[in-house]
Amino acid sequence: MIPVLKPTIDARTKKELLKVMDSGWWGFGPKTQEFEKKFAKYVGAKYCVATNSGTSALDLCLKVYNIKGGELITTPMTFVSDAIVGEWNNMDVTFADIDPDTLCLDPKSLVITKKTKAVITVDSHGRLANIKGIRKKFKGLIIEDAAHAMYTPGAGKDADITIWSFQAVKSLPMWDGGAITTNDEKIYKKLRTLTWLGVEKSTYDRAMGKKYTWDYDITQSQGIKAYMTDTQAVVGLGQLRRLTKTNKRRRAIQAMYNKAFKNMPEIEIPKYSHTVQYYTMKCENRNELSEYLADNGIVTSVHFKPLSKMTYWKKAVKRPLPVNDEVWLKLLTLPVHNALTNKEVKFIIKKVKEFYEG
């Protein structure tokens, strides 16, 4: 069976993980702090706060800007995290339509009202969202969800604040994890306490003096338990070290698919992605092709079945989403990951062509 996505890890990172496990310090500590510094430098931000997931990071972005109530606008072409954090903060969620090529939120579809308090836009499949276009229509809080864009040049530059995801099948995978980057020192300092229920000084910070200090203060009540642990961070450091190489491999697979499919009338190859978080093409007879590939040991997926088609989230459809509704029916994601061999890619290409050629 060829999986659609699969994380990989090198021998050096495995050894470093065992060192952390043997150290006796598994929670937030020196490896997390090291990861935050190196990650911030890598993406060109002044500050980074590492979290236990991208979802936690999204929630904290709303909390750190004191967003409570009002309207959150986001894309339906995403995972549920981008919508549900709005409800967690008593917001009314509204979906905007997408660009047919990038699959990112289309600024032209935005309807801004007095109730609109924030926009979460996703760098879909690793392609940068049009944040400057959004800014022309909306002067409030713009959160960039760069979960797919680790690292697409330019990610994290134009929004007010940016989140990243290191979930197990992302281009920088841990078991799970996330991060928030910002250039605002006040926001950074507030985020630090928000990641641990308002506690103003971490256990690690209290343990690093000449002697352990048990006393601490709690300065506010808006926080959640969201900090990253050193067992996550040490894996993240290893993945960050090899990210240029692993993303290059993903782009090589993208190029192989594009070359094979570019002249096939039944397939529209996807717009270029620097990270190739997903290789999601538009194709005729999507469901039948998926079944045929499954019968031949090839796992595919759809990124994404829109949130607007999910029973609970249909309430967030306040106006027509014509592009979203048409495009998603043709989307199919083929395997892309660093464990995928050229032989397997050629086999996948062969089976796709077999399906259409009969």
The reply to whether omega before 304 is within 30° of 0 (cis) is yes
> Which of 63, 170, 190, 282 is an active site residue?
170
From residue 331, give the alpha-carbon distance in Å to each of 35, 103, 124: 35, 11, 13
The reply to whether omega before 151 is within 30° of 0 (cis) is yes
Cα-Cα-Cα-Cα torsion 55, 61, 62, 63, nearest 10 degrees, comes to 100
In whole angstroms, give the CA distance from residue 285 to residue 270.
17
* CA gyration radius, the chain: 21
Closest CA to 27 of 156, 205, 241, 256: 205
Indicate if 353 belongs to the active site: no
| Token digits of residue 120 | 């979460």
Q: In this structure, what DSSP letter does residue 109 have?
A: G
Q: Provide the annotated active-site residues.
A: 170
